[in-house]
A = this chain, B = another copy of it.
Amino acid sequence: MSDERPEIAGLTIGILGGTGDQGKGLARRFALAGHRVLIGSRDAARAAQAAATLGEDLPVRGAANAEVAAGADVVIVAVPWDGHRAILESLRAELAGKIVVDCVNPLGFDKQGAFALEVPEGSAAQQAAAVLTGSRVVAAFHHVSAVSLLDPAVAELDLDVLVLGDDRAATDTVQELASRIPGVRGVYGGRLRNARQVEAFTANLISINRRYKAHAGLRITDV
């Protein structure tokens, strides 16, 4: 790790697709860590409703995706894979210059469980980078259990968040952000070109969860 940890205390976190469980769960944990959080949705009213379910005592507000993208310092992309490219294309201007954290897992499901989908750009994160040429795209938060994030009984999570990207200052910032979630370490995981297997590994975690009746996560040893 570098000795200087980036100062992130004052950052406002935006979450596109923040009305899903993953988005809401991350919103809850970042708000608990003291960040102002903006939950985004295509429908501003639904976003406000999702923010309200997290409790009035947390600094979480809902708004339309474009407003969230414009108003946040760091923007997390937690939309379904289905609308991933379209939503990013629609927010290019608002996201310019910002750290954009893609946590989308392109997965399919059949009766044998989950499997990785082919992505023309290689991975969801690389697709985001291809669309958002003016943003600083980072991949992270793929393996965090939404159930654990949302569960008030879970004081500490037990996993490392792998943070991938080609912009060192941006990955450092996102590692620090990940480490704000109790029990979580943000660990550098490589360049964006190696994001595909991190996204796809979520399919393995789903298999592991099924076999062991667990909410499995990863830890990196010797780091």
Query: In the complex the two chains form, is B204's CB within 8 Å of A1's CB?
Result: no
A155 at the interface (CB under 8 A from B): no
A183 to chain B, nearest CB (A): 10
Q: Which residue of B lies closest to A219 (CB)?
A: B219
Query: In the complex the two chains form, is B203's CB within 8 Å of A190's CB?
Result: yes
Give the residue of B204, B211, B214, B223 whose beta carbon is less than 8 angstroms from that of A212: B223
A105 to chain B, nearest CB (A): 11
Query: In the complex the two chains form, is A201's CB within 8 Å of B193's CB?
Result: no
Report Cα–Cα, A212/B221, bound state, in Å: 11
A222 at the interface (CB under 8 A from B): yes
| Chain B residues closer than 8 Å to A34, beta-carbon distance | none
A96 at the interface (CB under 8 A from B): no
| Chain B residues closer than 8 Å to A223, beta-carbon distance | 208, 212, 214, 216
Report Cα–Cα, A197/B115, bound state, in Å: 10
Query: In the complex the two chains form, is A221's CB within 8 Å of B222's CB?
Result: no
| Chain B residues closer than 8 Å to A212, beta-carbon distance | 1, 188, 222-223
Query: In the complex the two chains form, is B197's CB within 8 Å of A201's CB?
Result: yes
| Chain B residues closer than 8 Å to A191, beta-carbon distance | 112-113, 207
Report Cα–Cα, A203/B123, bound state, in Å: 15
Give the interface size bracket for A toward B. 35 or more
Q: Which residue of B lies closest to A207 (CB)?
A: B190
A171 to chain B, nearest CB (A): 10
Report Cα–Cα, A78/B64, bound state, in Å: 52
Report Cα–Cα, A193/B204, bound state, in Å: 10
Report Cα–Cα, A219/B222, bound state, in Å: 11
A130 at the interface (CB under 8 A from B): no
The 4 closest A-B pairs by CB, nearest first: A190-B207, A197-B200, A197-B197, A219-B219
* Chain A contacts to B: CB under 8 angstroms: 1, 112-116, 158-159, 162, 164, 187-191, 193-194, 196-198, 200-201, 203-204, 207-208, 211-212, 214-223
List 12 contacting pairs A-B, 8 Å CB cutoff, sorted by A: A116-B196, A158-B221, A187-B208, A188-B207, A189-B207, A190-B204, A197-B201, A201-B201, A214-B223, A216-B222, A218-B219, A219-B221
